[in-house]
Structure 1
């Protein structure tokens, strides 16, 4: 594949959540990704891949990618369950965005952050402004991040509206598009021609006090964890897949961060649960050897399904690397909905099913 001729460039390709969805819609994407294991996962899926640091590239390196630009900057500095360095630096990040809009060189300021990943959230703005200045602006831009980054997306919206774009921002919850988990993300969609919009839900929003069959009858019911992976909670979707690992499989923190363990065990102990029955004996599970038999472990294949990857999607690397890739990925099903709204496309038949 000639990566320079792709329709779109993904600044933070990861294992390909955005790009796998784009490929199903007939969009060719080249993803820039620094992590080698994630690059191997991308190549195994047939996705265009440049292994390197996004800061070493620019729009001129991908001259055909004028149709779309995708980005999911690293979320760890801004995540609620992280150290919070990005959240603490948010005012500084917003000030740098305004300086970038004035075409100031802020590279030294970005390099001065204690965590270099903090400044990566502004890479999409650098690319967008460079493309504009090179007289080849992107037709559409889509971005996602953890909810705490929404103020950054709103700041970018002001900047790009001044450059002639229509922009829509907001928070989307994955279960409203049939993903079997309650993952919430801050979304940014910009269009150079036409009205930018966020996708309309296809499934009901999960609410603790509302049964699956209740709610807006014009929408499909949300998908429970048990329906998504064949075991687990029956009365709610899975919790957000994050990057946590345990012996033999993902720790319960891998499906929800703080409070996930109590939620999973509480649902199981109350009887709202389908037991893990993929193996004949629980003693055969590596996670239980030397541990308690009532432990709950979510394995990579299940975490991937909770993210709406198909069972056929191959992840490369060690167990920890695979779980990290899955936790960092944007759910393909939600990505497809955002892309369809951003580009006025019809969803793939696989997505409608």
Structure 2
């Protein structure tokens, strides 16, 4: 017997609470989609950027202090978040493996509760154990699951959609969460997505979980966004590109998939978005490749950027000059990437109002807004983002107004 798909909620009913929100990579995508979104972010510098961008932010900074029934967020229908998970990023290490197993074990204790009292007792035990751990981030990754259970048991109104994202090493945690979320009423799945597949001018992989409330059909498939652009592979040529003077004149950064010509667009290269630089240049990474500090990673301007990190300002940029034989060789050193340029490579709008002194870290930690746009459209079952929506994200500018930190999702009469 086949089950009918759980009917999608109307766009107007989607209200997002974004845990560990950062400078707004997901929230700015939600904003251009016309969705209400409020972020929880503890870092003062990052909160300053959010204020400058006019993004809603809760008065409280700590995800652990708030709950799903807090007045500021109690009417949210969508939960998103990227909890810090560096504990698992020590690939293959005993410490990383233990942290992974600890989270899976503790997460299992938080589900299968039919009443609020038993859940709160379980959470109290779990919190006591995580408080004694050497790395407090092990406990933070459990917070989204706490919010999910509190929405169901405390406010008696489960989130319609849950979206979680982090580095690829966290995929085993998300896969375990998928099993747990199915037990409490969600159709869910998790995969690793490549940012350049969606037009982001950067190679960056993210482990993404999507869960949709559907207690009658938890085993149904969950659709993830389909690639619109060519994936970057070393040694593989870029697909042919087409000149589009109108797009160039408008200063638009991203392009949708071509209809009827190719399954995907060529990857978006650095030279496509860094218009103020010479056409041909090379970026030499601050990091060594293959464990050799002298073997720096290199990308030419015809390629997407390597993953943008908080050390992006240490990357060096060199002019590429064509010789008489047609080869390109390294020329003079150019100015290093600016914060605006690093933001563009993350797919933030050109005029995003970065603030404070740790901007590079804010940019490096953020999820690319264009990737967020595709994920949200898919998770909310709204279909792929339209050309107009993608262009709207690229052309976004701040309104120079500060957002209120009072109750955001007000009750309707």
TM range (shorter): 0.7 to 0.9
Deviations 1:46-83 (A, max 9, x none): 11102411000110012210x211101124434469x9
Checking the alignment, whether the CA contact within 8 Å between 1:173 and 1:183 is kept in structure 2 is yes
- Which segments of 5 or more consecutive residues in structure 2 lack a partner in the other structure? 1-12, 113-118, 215-219, 242-260, 282-299, 395-413
- Which residue of 2 is the match for residue 271 of structure 1? 328
Larger RCO (CA under 8 A, 6+ residues apart) = 2
The Cα shift of 1:112 comes to: 2.0
1:63 aligns with 2:74: yes
1:121 aligns with 2:107: no
Q: Classify 1:31/1:55 alpha carbon distance in 2 versus 1 (closer, same or farther; 3 Å).
A: same
- Which residue of 1 is the match for residue 371 of structure 2? 334
The Cα shift of 1:298 comes to: 2.2
Question: 1:325 and 1:87 mapped to 2: Cα distance?
Answer: 28
Map residues 180-329 of structure 1 onto 2, 5 A cutoff.
180-193=201-214, 196-213=222-239, 217-230=262-275, 231=277, 232=281, 233-244=300-311, 250-252=313-315, 271=328, 294=333, 297-318=336-357, 321-329=358-366
- Which residue of 2 is the match for residue 95 of structure 1? 105
Aligned length, in residue pairs: 313
Checking the alignment, whether the CA contact within 8 Å between 2:161 and 2:212 is kept in structure 1 is yes
Question: 2:168 and 2:198 mapped to 1: Cα distance?
Answer: 17
Checking the alignment, whether the CA contact within 8 Å between 1:78 and 1:146 is kept in structure 2 is no
The Cα shift of 1:295 comes to: 7.3
Q: Classify 1:268/1:69 alpha carbon distance in 2 versus 1 (closer, same or farther; 3 Å).
A: farther
Checking the alignment, whether the CA contact within 8 Å between 2:202 and 2:307 is kept in structure 1 is yes
Out of 135-144 and 225-234, give the one that drifted further: 225-234
- Which residue of 1 is the match for residue 162 of structure 2? 141
Checking the alignment, whether the CA contact within 8 Å between 1:78 and 1:84 is kept in structure 2 is no
Checking the alignment, whether the CA contact within 8 Å between 2:318 and 2:333 is kept in structure 1 is no
Out of 194-203 and 176-185, give the one that drifted further: 194-203
Question: 2:353 and 2:94 mapped to 1: Cα distance?
Answer: 32
Q: Classify 1:192/1:251 alpha carbon distance in 2 versus 1 (closer, same or farther; 3 Å).
A: same
Checking the alignment, whether the CA contact within 8 Å between 1:86 and 1:118 is kept in structure 2 is no
Question: 2:98 and 2:201 mapped to 1: Cα distance?
Answer: 32
1:47 aligns with 2:73: no
- Which residue of 2 is the match for residue 345 of structure 1? 382
Question: 1:88 and 1:157 mapped to 2: Cα distance?
Answer: 20
Equivalent position SS for 1:14: coil
Deviations 1:173-213 (A, max 9, x none): 00000000000000000001485321011111111232111
Question: 2:321 and 2:103 mapped to 1: Cα distance?
Answer: 42
RMSD across aligned positions (CA)? 2.9
Equivalent position SS for 1:240: coil
Equivalent position SS for 1:138: coil
The Cα shift of 1:111 comes to: 1.4
Question: 1:154 and 1:8 mapped to 2: Cα distance?
Answer: 23
Question: 1:301 and 1:84 mapped to 2: Cα distance?
Answer: 39
- Which segments of 5 or more consecutive residues in structure 1 lack a partner in the other structure? 253-260, 276-292
Q: Classify 1:125/1:220 alpha carbon distance in 2 versus 1 (closer, same or farther; 3 Å).
A: same
Instruction: Report the structure, 1 or 2, having the larger helix content.
Output: 1
Larger radius of gyration: 2
Instruction: Report the structure, 1 or 2, having the larger strand content.
Output: 2
Checking the alignment, whether the CA contact within 8 Å between 1:85 and 1:115 is kept in structure 2 is no
The Cα shift of 1:129 comes to: 1.2
The Cα shift of 1:303 comes to: 0.9
The Cα shift of 1:121 comes to: 1.4
Question: 1:152 and 1:131 mapped to 2: Cα distance?
Answer: 21
Deviations 1:116-160 (A, max 9, x none): 123211111111111111321000001100000001001110001
Q: Classify 1:87/1:44 alpha carbon distance in 2 versus 1 (closer, same or farther; 3 Å).
A: farther
Q: Classify 1:100/1:199 alpha carbon distance in 2 versus 1 (closer, same or farther; 3 Å).
A: same
Question: 1:251 and 1:54 mapped to 2: Cα distance?
Answer: 32
